[in-house]
């Protein structure tokens, strides 16, 4: 018989190996809250070796270091311990809450996973001052500066924002990448593309520095009051000098990844003066010329001509409406084709915009195109100016006479006269013919005759079916409203659809289409555009909150898309979402 003591010893010997063979696989992070300009270290540790290690996707972060692998074996009090670690260094892409997802590994045929860890990324933080810390040395010798051309502009006056990266000559610069871009809320913005990053000589705080112009943006403020230009954050790979020296006495350089963040810049936007503001003012700010021209002034009825309303010059050309022309009712006028020939540089928008009307006269006569005027705010004189076009007279020389000329607002060029009859009025009628006989045939006996006779009877059922479907469609009020909304969406988004695949042109056209739709639907001007204003107006119209949020999110995508890589699939998704949102707004709005 075994004693109780012997049985206890046997159980202990059997259980001990299982207790010491328990697998541990866990994730550890250096910190759970960090600034957008800081780094995060993530370690995946295991106490037994395994295969098929799969890290998480690290969504919201850039991997700037790793994977690094380390293995350690040690004996403590006669017991062997094993530890294997996979390490990563991460840089946040933007502010927000993120998760370090599950990593997995296979150990002894079993799959083990880590527990997700929540990470909070805040705005850029001030780093501790340590003269021996390479990161501190980099922060003291690398500076990102925001230069603003005008901190006290008028509403819709162009300002230029230039981001310059200053680097001390003792620092070697290897690579620059965007970490966090400003959103430019409450501004219309256009980035000036740079062909290359060129290193130039300059001064920073009175000291010699090298600098790179990294980004140029032209902004047009769309709100008055104090507006904020958010900082730009860059991820920089550079080599900084250390306190160590080589055998020749030269300082040893240490390569590292660091961040540079510009400061917030506030500007004060002045409203346009109310004194002297014209009634027809639509928000044009700058220096412009205005004219109305016709492709021809003499033509015959049913011929067409082009009437062009053109504004050219320097200012916010894409952000106001052109005046409409007023034509006599006897001239048939088609919807104008809007064209833009605008380039944007550091001085703002320059070029011209125009509306081209196709006009077709119906009757003979002379028709005046009255003078129209265009108003704008001149930044040089800080006053409103009005430019008027010349009156144009269209002379329709041949065509039918309009019997309603007496009630028409046209200047008729024809004078009615009494017709005088004479004895030779039928002189043109021939009294002799040269007819010849033709062979007679019985058409009613042919197949063609009977086909023509029976065809109307065969078409009766088809006509009844078409009429029934037409009546059914006319009675479908809800369906007609949807179809009308879809047609409206396609109308406004037609230009954006043509630009699919061309990122910048597509999002500019899409943003303009959304703005034009709001102008037509809500009867507001470009200067009144803001998320809150749009939300309030659409709420008053009875539009669902979800649809309003979708509309604002598309506008945000248009702003962000200029600075982020975009695929054709994403552009198609944004186009489809815009078409759906416009259709829903038109269907729901009262």
Which alpha helices (DSSP H) does 103-243 contain, by range? 134-141
233-245 and 225-229 beta bridge pairing: unpaired
The whole-number pLDDT of residue 413 equals 34
Instruction: Tell me the three state secondary structure of residue 585.
Output: helix
Residue 112 to residue 46: CA distance in whole angstroms:
10
The whole-number pLDDT of residue 85 equals 87
Q: Of the spans 241-245, 384-388, 566-570, which averages the highest pLDDT?
A: 384-388
Nearest-10 crossing angle of helices 531-540, 503-522: 40
For residue 19, is pLDDT > 50? no
- 299-358 residue pLDDT tens: 988 889 999 999 999 999 999 999 999 888 888 898 899 999 999 998 899 999 999 999
Cβ-based burial of 499 (10 A; exposed 0-12, middle 13-18, buried ≥19): middle
Of 563, 588, 565, 458, give the one whose Cα is nearest residue 216: 563
The whole-number pLDDT of residue 465 equals 83
When pLDDT is cut at 50, 70 and 90, the band that residue 296 belongs to is very high
Of 47, 54, 35, 40, give the one whose Cα is nearest residue 101: 54
Query: Which range has the worst mean pLDDT, 177-186, 210-219, 357-366?
Result: 177-186
Residue 364 to residue 416: CA distance in whole angstroms:
13
Cβ-based burial of 444 (10 A; exposed 0-12, middle 13-18, buried ≥19): exposed
For residue 574, is pLDDT > 90? no
For residue 444, is pLDDT > 90? no
The pTM is what?
0.51
- 559-568 residue pLDDT tens: 777 666 677 7
For residue 197, is pLDDT > 90? no
Q: Structure tokens of 225? A: 């009051």
Residue with tokens 């954050």: 233
Residue 215 to residue 197: CA distance in whole angstroms:
9
For residue 525, is pLDDT > 80? no
- For the chain, the distance separating the N- and C-terminal CA atoms, rounded to the nearest angstrom, is 94
N residues, the chain: 590
Looking at per-residue confidence, does 278 or 530 come out higher?
Answer: 278
Residue 55 to residue 48: CA distance in whole angstroms:
17
Cα 68 to Cα 43, 50, 103, 246, 552: the distances in Å are: 9, 16, 15, 27, 43
When pLDDT is cut at 50, 70 and 90, the band that residue 442 belongs to is low
Cβ-based burial of 55 (10 A; exposed 0-12, middle 13-18, buried ≥19): buried
């Amino acid at each position: 018989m075994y004693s109780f003591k012997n049985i206890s010893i046997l159980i202990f010997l059997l259980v001990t190996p299982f207790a010491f063979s328990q697998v541990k696989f866990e994730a550890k992070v250096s910190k759970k809250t960090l600034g957008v300009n800081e780094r995060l270290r993530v370690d995946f540790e295991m106490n037994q070796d395994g295969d098929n290690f799969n890290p998480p996707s690290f969504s919201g972060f850039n991997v700037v270091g790793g994977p690094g692998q380390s293995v350690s074996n040690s004996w403590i009090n006669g017991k062997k311990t094993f530890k294997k670690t996979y390490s990563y260094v991460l840089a946040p892409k933007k502010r927000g809450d993120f998760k370090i997802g599950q990593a997995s590994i296979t150990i002894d045929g079993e799959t083990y996973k880590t527990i997700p860890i929540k990470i909070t990324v805040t705005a850029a933080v001030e780093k501790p001052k340590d003269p021996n810390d390479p990161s501190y040395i980099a922060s003291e010798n690398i500076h990102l500066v925001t230069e603003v051309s005008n901190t006290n502009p008028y509403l819709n006056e162009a300002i230029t924002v230039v981001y310059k990266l200053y680097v001390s000559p003792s620092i070697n610069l290897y690579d620059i990448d965007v970490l966090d871009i400003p959103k430019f809320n409450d501004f219309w913005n256009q980035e000036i593309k740079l062909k290359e990053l060129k290193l130039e000589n300059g001064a920073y705080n009175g000291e010699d520095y090298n600098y790179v112009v990294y980004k140029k943006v032209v902004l047009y403020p769309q709100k008055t009051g104090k507006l904020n230009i958010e900082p730009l954050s860059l991820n920089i790979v550079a080599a900084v000098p250390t306190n160590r020296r080589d055998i020749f006495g030269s300082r040893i350089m240490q390569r590292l990844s660091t961040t540079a963040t510009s400061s917030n810049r506030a500007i004060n936007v002045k409203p346009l003066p109310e004194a002297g503001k014209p009634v027809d003012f639509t928000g044009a700010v700058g220096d412009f010329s205005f004219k109305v021209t016709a492709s021809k002034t003499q033509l015959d009825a049913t011929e067409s001509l082009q009437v062009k309303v053109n504004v050219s010059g320097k200012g916010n050309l894409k952000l106001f409406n052109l005046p409409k022309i007023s034509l006599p009712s006897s001239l048939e006028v088609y919807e104008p084709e809007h064209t833009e020939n605008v380039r944007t540089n550091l001085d703002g928008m320059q070029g011209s915009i125009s509306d081209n009307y196709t006009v077709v006269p119906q009757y003979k006569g002379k028709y005046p195109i009255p003078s129209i005027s265009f108003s704008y705010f001149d930044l040089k004189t800080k006053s409103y100016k009005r430019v008027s076009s010349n009156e144009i007279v269209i002379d329709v020389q041949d065509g039918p006479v309009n019997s309603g000329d007496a009630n028409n607002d046209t200047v008729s060029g024809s004078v009615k006269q009494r017709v005088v009859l004479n004895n030779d009025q039928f002189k043109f009628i021939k009294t002799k013919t040269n007819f010849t006989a033709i062979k007679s045939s019985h058409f009613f006996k042919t197949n063609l005759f009977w086909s023509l006779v029976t065809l109307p009877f065969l078409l009766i059922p088809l006509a009844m079916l078409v009429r029934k479907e037409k009546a059914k469609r006319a009675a479908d009020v809800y369906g007609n409203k949807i179809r009308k909304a879809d047609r409206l969406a396609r109308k406004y988004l037609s230009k954006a659809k043509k630009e699919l695949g061309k990122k910048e042109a597509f999002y500019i056209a899409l943003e303009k289409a959304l703005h034009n739709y709001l102008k037509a639907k809500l009867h507001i001007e470009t200067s009144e555009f803001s998320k809150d204003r749009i939300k309030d107006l659409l709420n008053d119209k009875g539009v669902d909150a979800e649809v309003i949020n979708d509309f604002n999110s598309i506008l945000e995508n248009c702003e962000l898309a200029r600075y982020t890589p975009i695929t054709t699939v994403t552009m198609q998704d944004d186009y489809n979402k815009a078409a759906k949102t416009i259709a829903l707004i038109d269907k729901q709005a009262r």
